[in-house]
Amino acid sequence: MFKSLKSTSTSLILLGILAVIVGIIAIAWPNVTILALVILFAVYAFMDAGLQAARAFSSRSAGPVFGHLLLALIGLAAGVVALVWPGPTAYVLVIVVAAWALAGGVVEVVAGFGSGETAGTRALFIVSGLVSVAFGVLLFARPGVGAVTLALLFGLYSMIYGFSQITAGVQMRQLGKSFRPLSELKNAA
């Protein structure tokens, strides 16, 4: 159990760090071409898919496995779509990113309600899911935004999402340290 907690917390922290780095790059250089943003988004989506798949296979119960595999498939599909059609207009990128954020956010909110984690960790999953949903709705509502605006919004979204995942991972790691094996309790008595 302790190894599973540490593995899950590590994947959350790595996913968060990756999201923050992607966010900083997107905000620091908003004038990058839409093609660079497509490639950056695809790399992030593939890394997210890999980390979600790793989290799924480190879980011991079926519920989290399904949710993490579903998130992995959503991330993988978003990355493939972005790379297969790199030349579409910013409008198409906005729709792909919006669909990914919306679908991933809904799955995260549902996973937060069904998760066997602590209340704080569940709340962070729900909050990060709601941020994803809000980002997706905003992009669907304003699909004509320019590449610079999309880069800034994507950077802000990635940083908020990243910080929430890092916080969840740190909380999970601290929770794992508070557990003591039963053998220690028997020896203490």
Number of separate domains in the chain: 1
Domain that holds residue 160: 2-184
31-58: pLDDT as tens digits: 665 677 778 788 988 999 999 888 888 8
To the question of pTM greater than 0.95 for the whole model, the response is no
Question: Could you tell me if residue 102 is inside a domain?
Answer: yes
Domain assignment present for 189 = no
Two tokens, residue 188? 């203490």
Q: Is residue 85 part of a domain?
A: yes
Query: 126-146: per-residue pLDDT in tens?
Result: 999 999 999 888 888 877 665
> pLDDT tens-digit profile of 60-112?
666 677 888 898 999 999 888 888 877 565 577 778 778 988 999 999 898 88
**Distance separating alpha carbons of residues 60 and 13, to the nearest angstrom:** 20
Q: What gap in Å lies between CA 187 and CA 178, rounded to an integer?
A: 18
Banded model confidence at residue 1, pLDDT cuts 50, 70, 90 = very low
Q: Is residue 123 part of a domain?
A: yes
- Give Cα 83 distance to the centre of its chain: 19
For residue 88, the model assigns a pLDDT of 64
Residue from 123, 125, 116, 143 nearest 12 by CA: 125
Contact present, 26 and 155 (Cβ < 8 Å): yes
